[in-house]
Homo-oligomer: A and B are copies of this chain.
Amino acid sequence: MKRKFLPVLLLSLAITGTSMAQSGYKEDSVFIRKIFHTALSDGKSYEMLRRLTQEVGPRLSGSAGAVKAVTLTSEIMKAEKFDQVFLQNVMVPHWVRGAKEEGAIFNGKQKTVVPLVALGGSVATPKTGIKAQVIEVKSFQELRDLGTSVVKGKIVFFNRPMDPTKLNTFDAYAGAVEQRGSGPSEAAKMGAIGCIVRSMTTRLDDVPHTGSMRYASGAPMIPAAGISTNAAELLSKTLKTNPATEFYFKQSCEILPDAPSHNVIGELKGAKSPEQYMVVGGHLDSWDIADGAHDDGTGCVQSIEAVRLLKVLGYKPNNTLRAVMFMNEENGLKGGIAYADSAKSKKEKHIAAIESDRGGFTPLGFGIVGTPAQKQKIKSWQPLFSPYGVHELGVGGGGADIGPLGQQGTVLMGLIPDSQRYFDYHHATNDTFDKVSRRELELGAASMAAMLYLLDKYGVE
């Protein structure tokens, strides 16, 4: 079997009726082929990712790893001779995990140690930990229906799994993640003294996942942790035979004063409209327990690579192109907000921004947030992407870090890769370099470069 490039004739036929001249599309299809070939044969994204995940590793906002990551990505872009590489100051939350956590199920005198990690932003337990009976619920409503008399003094256990029947795993995540984000405060409002949450993954394994948790104002700040899905299954089963089962956990996390940090920006100056900007970006911070390969090392190196590919292929941009490593997506979004604030105050007109923050998997499409006319224009480029498996333009949105730019009229786009494996590794210790396929990563970078090229060449109006 063969899967060849669409013949140019077919491409031309397919775009009949668009506003672009056929000759332009022929030229574009040739240039985009060069982008993909270069990414796959002489790409640098994989080696950049190796350095970011293995030389730096975990890089939560405020940590020494985050400082190293700023230096490394800055140096990489300088070595690639981007026209300008600079840092943008941003104050970020600084939460630290402290000593490794402990977690255990006590079924009478039988103790079973389980994999557990504090949720990001959680307070510590008392030094000796907490141990209490467990109330298992699958929703906030179920919790409220139990009433404070039942919940008071207990540990609330949220155990609603991600729905495996959702084809796109981000939909399944969206349907379950409130338990992690808001569950601890919901539990506290009902009198709970601690909260544990089933990890956000469709896998059944022993890997606990962390992630951000926000205390609601007015509710007591109780310690909160994630337990592995196997541990959640075991605890649930144990509770069915012994409702008096107790859970124990101990963690020593702290919220420190906000820390100075940076967004890292590399740019190629625009030849015609240097005062207009196009952004490709990912977030540089990761959770502290993870090397942050898919979340979001891949997005960072793909962004650098997208700009680098256009540069090495001799493309002279009309607008100024920027690769942006946003700081603090995981627990504050301060980098994305600071970037948009800076753009506004400096009157930097941002035409479009593309984010990659869904893992370095085979690219299938791009999400678009813009006016119907803008979406239609971008979707008309579909025939240029189809030869590369990128078959769905316009399904999905942009990304968290570029979100704040939306208020300035910027078209927001998100790279949409295959979602099946993302939550196997998300926010967990197994989000490591070896989980990334070189070719999948490179195809994503090439897709972003191709989209950046078209946005720059044709604009969005």
Contacts and interface: CB of A to CB of B under 8 A. Distances in A.
Interface of A: 1-4, 36-37, 40-41, 164-165, 167-171, 202-203, 362, 364, 367, 387-389, 391-392, 395-397, 414, 416, 418, 420-421, 424, 437-440, 443
Contacts of A170: 1
15 contacts: A1-B168, A1-B367, A3-B168, A36-B167, A203-B438, A362-B362, A364-B389, A389-B418, A391-B391, A391-B392, A418-B418, A420-B437, A420-B440, A420-B443, A421-B437
A368 to B, nearest CB: 10
A443 B203 CA distance: 15
Contacts of A443: 167, 420
A162 to B, nearest CB: 11
Contacts of A4: 171
Given A40-B164, A421-B437, 7 more contacts: A1-B168, A3-B171, A4-B171, A36-B167, A418-B418, A420-B437, A421-B440
Given A41-B165, A364-B389, A424 B437 contact: yes
A392 B386 CA distance: 11
Copies in the complex: 2
Contacts of A2: 168, 171, 396
A167 B41 contact: no
Contacts of A167: 3, 36, 387-389, 443
Contacts of A421: 437, 439-440
A19 to B, nearest CB: 26
Contact of A439 (B171, B389, B420): B420
A389 B365 CA distance: 11
A4 B437 CA distance: 27
Nearest to A396: B1
Given A40-B164, A165-B41, A420-B362, A1 B440 contact: no
Given A37-B165, A41-B165, A395-B1, A362 B171 contact: no
Contacts of A165: 36-37, 40-41
Given A169-B439, A362-B362, A421-B439, A164 B396 contact: no
B36 A202 contact: no
A363 to B, nearest CB: 10
B3 A395 contact: yes
B418 A362 contact: yes
A51 to B, nearest CB: 16
Given A37-B165, A165-B37, A388-B167, A416 B1 contact: yes
Contacts of A424: 437
A396 B167 CA distance: 24
A37 to B, nearest CB: 4
Nearest to A398: B1
A412 to B, nearest CB: 11
Nearest to A42: B164
A383 B40 CA distance: 32
A299 to B, nearest CB: 15
Closest 3 CB pairs of A and B: A1-B396, A3-B168, A37-B165
Contacts of A392: 391
Contacts of A171: 2-4
A418 B4 CA distance: 15
A58 to B, nearest CB: 23
Nearest to A1: B396
A246 to B, nearest CB: 31
A61 B256 CA distance: 63
Contacts of A397: 1
A115 B379 CA distance: 48
A9 to B, nearest CB: 18
A432 B1 CA distance: 26
A397 B438 CA distance: 27
Contacts of A388: 167
Contacts of A437: 420-421, 424
A416 B2 CA distance: 11
Contacts of A391: 391-392
For A2, A168, A203, which residue has the most chain B Cβ atoms within 10 angstroms? A2
A170 B388 CA distance: 14
Nearest to A163: B41
A202 B396 CA distance: 32
User: Most B CB atoms within 10 A — which of A36, A362, A395, A443?
Assistant: A362
